[in-house]
Amino acid sequence: MNKLFIYLFLLVSIHTMAQPPRELKEISAMRVPRLMAPPTNIYEVNIRQFTKEGTINAFAKHLPRLRKMGVELLWLMPVQPIGVERRKGSMGSYYSIQDYMAINPEFGTMEDFISMVQQAHQLGFRVILDWVANHTSFDHAWIKTHPEWFTRDSVGGIASPFDWTDVADLNYENKEMRTAMSEAMKFWLRATDIDGFRCDVAELVPLDFWELCRKDLQTVKPVFMLAEGEKPELIPSFDMTYSWTLHHLLNEVAKGKKTVKDIENYLVEDPKKFPASSIRMNFTSNHDENSWNGTEFERMGELAQACAVLTIGLPGMPLIYSGQEAPLKKRLLFFEKDPIDWNGYQYEKFYTDLLQLKYNNAALKNVRNDAVAHKINGKGNPNIMAFWRDGANKKVLFFVNLSNKEQKASYDDAAISGTYDFFGADQTTKLLIEKKHTVTIGPGKWLIMVE
């Protein structure tokens, strides 16, 4: 076995990667069938920054590439017109909505959007649209026609949530406003055939609205709903919630402020809070993290890829943000044009391999909360995240070094005994894992073994 462990170390050491008319009728687009199993991954699309053109049509040219990469669910950041009054920067925030039922002319037309959704469906994607239900821009038509639909500050003016001075806070005590909001969401289902919504700051909107809204949307078509929030009570109005806890843990582990033990504790405690059928979204970056808190390379340094491996290997649905496959090593400006430098898609294979593994392997395909990451027992190493997933009588082993130094660990676990392939390796040599075994893994590297 010693020779095998030397071979294992050498192998791991070299494996480093790796304004439309309101009378638009419901279209007869090819719909993606609603499957009992949810998608296994999600990709966030920032239309403005995705291409130099910053248009829907320019983004649509990337659809075949993203599908080949293994992406299943597309989350489109808001595509509606952006408010001018109190606008931040020269282009404003995507989340300052001027008209819920229109397309930002900078991005294209409603016809462009419908065509893009049809293309996406034909390729096998499902598509969800970012929805801003908590607030509008200060020049939204509702400000003049229904001022009672907005909350007021201490001097009687229309209030802004927090320091978001470019948006006006909606009043959910008003039943007419609630109805109008649901109808606007149903408009997109009927007119464009999207498959659901990612709901911005969902925890700021009353839960009873989401409960009724979900039922209302389902009368049009089955929908997939993602909440920007982590409260368990958002389920079952939403299918998936953000795993902010895991995200922050990964940041802290990368900085040396938390340890693998903290992640292991999370994997024990977090599932107790959520129903078995719910989904937690894992991520190393998104539009907020990238623009305001820094790229994954700023926050996680040399461990950015190792952390990405965990978001895909652990239970939950992994998110990839626009440009992470480039890789994206700059903070995208939020209120200005700042296109992604695709830089030859250097990390595309890294993500493709992992997404394909997650989709094709029964041990990883379950993204719901009833999936389990089993800790590999033994002496271990506080810097190595060691776990296994199983399904259909097959196992996948993960050993991820969350440190900037080479690490060695010993394990004693009969549950993982078997013969495995090295995932991602060019060699076809198999390795027999016995009850007792040792691994040596280079800094920020990982070993994935498939039975």
Domains of the chain: 2-8+375-450 (2.60.40.1180), 39-371 (3.20.20.80)
pLDDT at res. 426: 55
Q: What is the dihedral of CA 76, 307, 270, 197, to 10 degrees?
A: 0
143 sits in the region (left: phi over 0; alpha: psi -120 to 50; else beta) called alpha
Cα distance between residue 133 and residue 155, in whole Å: 24
The Cα–Cα gap between 429 and 408 comes to 22
Q: How far apart are CA 7 and CA 446, in angstroms?
A: 15
- The CA distance from 253 to 314, in Å, is 16
Element (H, E) at 190: helix 175-192
CA dist., res. 436 & res. 446, Å (int): 19
- pLDDT score, position 428: 56
**pLDDT on residue 425:** 60
* C-alpha to C-alpha distance for 54 and 286, rounded to whole angstroms: 18
- Residues of the chain scoring pLDDT < 50: 1-36
Please choose, from the candidates 212, 246, 250, the residue with its C-alpha nearest in 3D space to the C-alpha of residue 230.
246
The pTM of the full predicted model, rounded to 2 decimals, is 0.92
Considering Cα of 341, then 342, then 346, then 347, what sign does the dihedral take? Answer: positive
How many residues comprise the chain? 451
Beta bridge partners of 366: none
Query: Which among 395, 399, 400 has a CA at the least distance from the CA of 414?
Result: 395
Is 169 within 8 Å of 135 (Cβ atoms)?
yes
Q: What is the DSSP string of 85-126?
A: TT-STTT--TTSBS-TTS--TTT--HHHHHHHHHHHHHHT-E
3-state secondary structure of 70: coil
